[in-house]
Amino acid sequence: MTGLVLWRAAHEPSAADVYQPDMWILMGGAAIATLAGDHIFEAGVQQIRPVTVVTWLVASAWIPLLVAASVRVRDGNWWAAVFPLGMYSSATFATAVETGWHWLTAISLAFMWIALAAWLVTCLLTSLRIGRACTP
């Protein structure tokens, strides 16, 4: 899926409105994989640690691409961003606990606030859009 989304982004840059939600979902998937790996590590499978670090790095690497793609979108599907941002915060905290890299907790906390702000702004924009649609 990642290859298809990236191919589409490279060959149809004007279609950012269409592939932008897909890119957020891919980042959320990497964050979910990280969180799942952290739970597997807690269950005693120590060999999973490198995999969870790599999936966290992949999710982190997506963020600049997402910011760039989201800036280009005029009227994007911002709901697609809310869940992945929250998952990234959770995955980052779990990775901090698993690895002992306590500096990641600050990143986790920052993304928790970013996710909350994204949720609030998205709710507000959606409410305004619904209000305008209901106004005769």
The answer to whether residues 28 and 84 touch, using CB atoms and an 8 Å cutoff, is yes
The answer to whether residues 35 and 87 touch, using CB atoms and an 8 Å cutoff, is yes
Mean pLDDT over the full length of the chain: 85
Q: 12-23, pLDDT tens digit by residue?
A: 766 656 667 777
Domain count within the chain: 1
Range of the domain at 122: 2-134
Cα Rg of the chain (Å, integer):
17
Burial class (CB within 10 angstroms; exposed 0-12, middle 13-18, buried 19+) of 14: exposed
pLDDT at 119: 92
Task: Quote the CA–CA distance of 54 and 45 in Å, as a whole number.
Answer: 16
Task: Quote the CA–CA distance of 60 and 34 in Å, as a whole number.
Answer: 11
Q: What percent of the chain has pLDDT over 90?
A: 49
Q: 34-90, pLDDT tens digit by residue?
A: 999 999 998 999 899 999 999 999 999 988 888 777 766 666 667 788 899 999 999
